[in-house]
Amino acid sequence: MGDINWIELFFSSFTLWVLLGCSVLSVTVTIERWWFFRKIRFNPRQFLEMLGKIHALVSQNKAEDALVATQSMVGPIADIVRTALTNRNRSKVELDELLTAARMEQRLVLEKYLGILGTLGNTAPFIGLFGTVVGIIRAFHDLAVSGSGGPAVVAAGISEALVATAAGLLVAIPSVVVFNYFMKKVKVMATNMEVSSIRLLVILHGRREG
């Protein structure tokens, strides 16, 4: 049994082409999400300073100035702050509902494309397994047609077929790791948004009830 001709194997396997497309898609989504989360990176210290400034301006009835001060902020938490300030004259219950809706909308933005990584992580091994099964069927078919060669022919065919399974795992494992990494970021950001909403409610309505 000679060495595997990887180039010939790749061009002769439809499954490997599919897995190549899956790997390109996975890398593309990973880069896009990495760049997105990098742009909205949350700085707790900076945010607390901003909240202090907002609190001071709101206490002086300068909520419009507070709204202007948030224009330099980017990301979902910045949108939560702007939603709260824009709707500051609503009742506490209404504002709480609006902030809840805003958090749900922002979570959808945070989870954008992550379903692709999760799907690739779950399906790529099965695509690879399908390629392996097809390869094994082909190997036994070639053995039956040739009528000679014995186990060596089958072993060569099976070894090439198993490449599809390895390729499927090669796509799936990084996809799952990256998916879990970004989902952890989503959960952390969701917690920060909820904490921010609570603090904003206190800032905007505590002064009225005090």
Q: What's the sign of the alpha-carbon dihedral 98, 99, 102, 108?
A: negative
pLDDT of 74-108, one tens digit each?
888 888 888 888 888 888 889 899 999 999 999 99
Would you tell me how many other CB atoms lie within 10 Å of the CB of residue 17? 13
d(CA 83, CA 193): 12
Q: What is the DSSP letter of 72?
A: G
Which amino acid, residue 88?
R
d(CA 208, CA 95): 14
d(CA 44, CA 174): 30
Asked if 116 and 25 count as a contact pair (C-beta separation under 8 A), the reply is yes
Give the global pTM: 0.81
Which carries the bigger pLDDT value, residue 57 or residue 24? Answer: 24
Q: What is the DSSP letter of 75?
A: S
Determine the Cα angle at 183 with ends 177 and 184, to 5°: 90
pLDDT of 112-162, one tens digit each?
999 999 999 999 999 999 888 888 887 777 777 766 656 666 666 677 778
Q: Structural domain boundaries of the chain?
A: 13-131+161-210
The first and second tokens of residue 94, run together, are 């209404």
The first and second tokens of residue 142, run together, are 């070639």
